[in-house]
Amino acid sequence: MTSQTHDTASASAFAELDAYRALEAKQQPSWPDPAAVAAASAELATQPPLVFAGEADQLRERLAAAARGEAFLLQGGDCAETFEAATADKIRDRVKTLLQMAVVLTYGASMPVIKVGRMAGQFAKPRSSDTETREGVTLPAFRGDIVNGYDFTPESRTADPSRLVRGYHVSASTLNLIRAFTQGGFADLRQVHAWNQGFVSNPANQRYESLAAEIDRALKFMDACGVESAALSQTEFYVSHEALLLDYERPLVRVDSRTGDLYDTSAHMLWIGERTRQLDGAHVEFLSHVRNPIAVKLGPTSTVDDALRLIDKLDPEREPGRLTFVTRMGAGKIRDVLPGLLEGVRDAGATPLWVTDPMHGNGLTTATGYKTRRFDDVMDELLGFFEAHREAGTIPGGIHVELTGDDVTECLGGSENIDEEALATRYESLCDPRLNHRQSLELAFLVAEELKRLGR
Ligand SMILES: O=C[C@H](O)[C@H](O)COP(=O)(O)O
Ligand SMILES: C=C(OP(=O)(O)O)C(=O)O
Ligand SMILES: [Mn+2]
């Protein structure tokens, strides 16, 4: 193609993308100053992409393997990242937690684990209510650091478009550190013990320690045999977030110079949330025009028809790895709802990647006002997910969890038995409750058992 025909082709691709502008976009902030939003978007449009299109393609291939049952997706991180918590220590501890979980899963299941952080861009939050009332004062709800501040004052809660640009820069520095850790030796499998250090000693990381010792012995054996593999010293690590805030996502859509295709370069993988997955809505339209791997959350009211129409819109070619469904049904509903959904999609001949989010259908608020989840409900939804797939003969391809490497007390239960009273001691999340480091490892051991049972 000459450069002129290339320009014409990308102009028409952008025109198709912009069809979303005529559709309803739910869960967007009301920015008080539209000119300032336009200026922030224009600034973002001049910034370099955060990811390379070829990386997104590689992830799509990995996800295709997971949809075939030859790999397993581990996607996790904060509910809402914050600018303040984008520190070296906190990013390192989240990466370490995901690496540890991946080792538990890989070793348990003898299967490659695809590591995808809810990191480097997971800043925008959909809310149940547009406003929050405290002691008779009503203000706009907190919609994530990329929109407004958490402090309960009118100034802080006013949507501020300069946060869009700051969100980009915090994402860039977070991603930079993730790349440094995962490619610069920190993720070397010979560091399997080191990832466990610095966390409060507990039964889950003691169990991890003995698994790490087995891995060490296996590595020494391989060394002694002269087996060398670059795969041991580096790991692929991808980033993802909910593509919620279209004023942030749109300026980061770029043309892949290799193919002329559009990619949303804010992350490798993007998902559409339960609240914004309307077929005639802006989010579905927008993501139908970019080539990244896309996920859609499916809550308990989802029908087979919803799923099939999403497939037709987002993955008309039924390209392996393009589309992931993340089901978040709730422990009490998954066994009733999921088998029928799996069967309907299976009978239509489609093979999306099926992943469970055992967190978002299991929220509750305590009498003292803490948003929390019971670890037992999370575990129960996980088991229900594996059961439903056994029933339908389909492939349980991954998990999507809200977690942190920090020693927080946000979810009830787990082996340290966090109770309602303990929630107050280290509750740090600005949105949903996350599994702490120990609960995350416990969950990984349970999933590893289920994967072993599958005997893949
Ligand atoms: O992360 C998910 C949603 O943003 C969150 O669950 C909404 O919480 P809310 O019901 O407190 O608004
Ligand atoms: C908002 C989220 O989930 P859902 O769309 O499933 O409610 C989330 O993943 O933080
Ligand atoms: Mn959440």
Residue 333 in marked binding region: no
**Full domain range(s) for residue 413:** 3-454
Ligand 2 atom with minimal separation from the 274 CA: 5
Does the beta carbon of 289 sit less than 6 angstroms from any atom of ligand 2? Answer: no
* CA–CA dist 67, 63 (Å, integer): 6
Give the pLDDT score at 5: 67
110-158 pLDDT per residue, tens: 889 999 999 999 999 999 999 999 999 999 999 999 999 999 999 999 9
Structure-derived torsion over alpha carbons of residues 117, 120, 126, 131, reported in degrees to the nearest 10: 130
291-337 pLDDT per residue, tens: 999 999 999 999 999 999 999 999 999 999 999 999 999 999 999 99
Are the CB atoms for 80 and 145 separated by under 8 Å? yes
77-94 pLDDT per residue, tens: 999 999 999 999 999 999
Does the beta carbon of 143 sit less than 6 angstroms from any atom of ligand 1? Answer: no
Q: What is the Å distance from ligand 3's center to 360 Cα?
A: 6
Give the pLDDT score at 456: 62
Does the beta carbon of 268 sit less than 6 angstroms from any atom of ligand 2? Answer: no
User: If you count them, how many residues does the chain have?
Assistant: 456
Residue 360 in marked binding region: yes
* CA–CA dist 236, 232 (Å, integer): 11
* CA–CA dist 162, 147 (Å, integer): 9
Residue 90 in marked binding region: no
Q: What is the Å distance from ligand 1's center to 63 Cα?
A: 27
Give the pLDDT score at 307: 98
Ligand 1 atom with minimal separation from the 128 CA: 12
Residue 283 in marked binding region: no
Give the pLDDT score at 201: 83
- For the beta carbon of residue 33, count every other beta carbon within 10 angstroms: 13
Give the pLDDT score at 409: 98
Give the pLDDT score at 6: 65
* CA–CA dist 74, 425 (Å, integer): 29
Are the CB atoms for 329 and 358 separated by under 8 Å? no
H or E stretch including 117? strand 113-118
H or E stretch including 240? strand 237-242
User: Which mutation among 278, 294, 310, 328 tests ligand 2's pocket best, with the greatest number of atoms within 8 A of CB?
Assistant: 328
Ligand nearest to the CA of 329: 2
Q: What is the Å distance from ligand 3's center to 125 Cα?
A: 8
Looking at residue 439, which CATH number applies to its domain?
A: 3.20.20.70
Does the beta carbon of 103 sit less than 6 angstroms from any atom of ligand 1? Answer: no
| Number of domains, the chain | 1
Instruction: State phi, psi for 102 to the nearest 5 degrees.
Output: -65, -40
Q: What is the Å distance from ligand 2's center to 378 Cα?
A: 15
- Please give the sequence-ordered ranges of beta strands (E in DSSP) within 282-321, or none if there are none: 294-298
Q: Is the ipTM of this complex over 0.95?
A: yes
Give the pLDDT score at 58: 98
Give the pLDDT score at 454: 86
* CA–CA dist 386, 384 (Å, integer): 5
Q: What is the Å distance from ligand 2's center to 298 Cα?
A: 10
Q: What is the Å distance from ligand 1's center to 143 Cα?
A: 9
Does the beta carbon of 79 sit less than 6 angstroms from any atom of ligand 1? Answer: yes
Q: 209 Cβ partners below 8 Å, 6+ apart?
A: 193, 196
Specify the residue with its C-alpha closest to ligand 2, atom 2: 273
Ligand 1 atom with minimal separation from the 371 CA: 11
Amino acid making up residue 149 = G
* CA–CA dist 219, 451 (Å, integer): 23
Sites in the chain below the pLDDT cut of 50: none
Give the pLDDT score at 1: 55
Say what the pTM is: 0.97
Q: Shortest CA distance to 379 belongs to which of 343, 415, 406, 410?
A: 415
H or E stretch including 399? strand 396-402
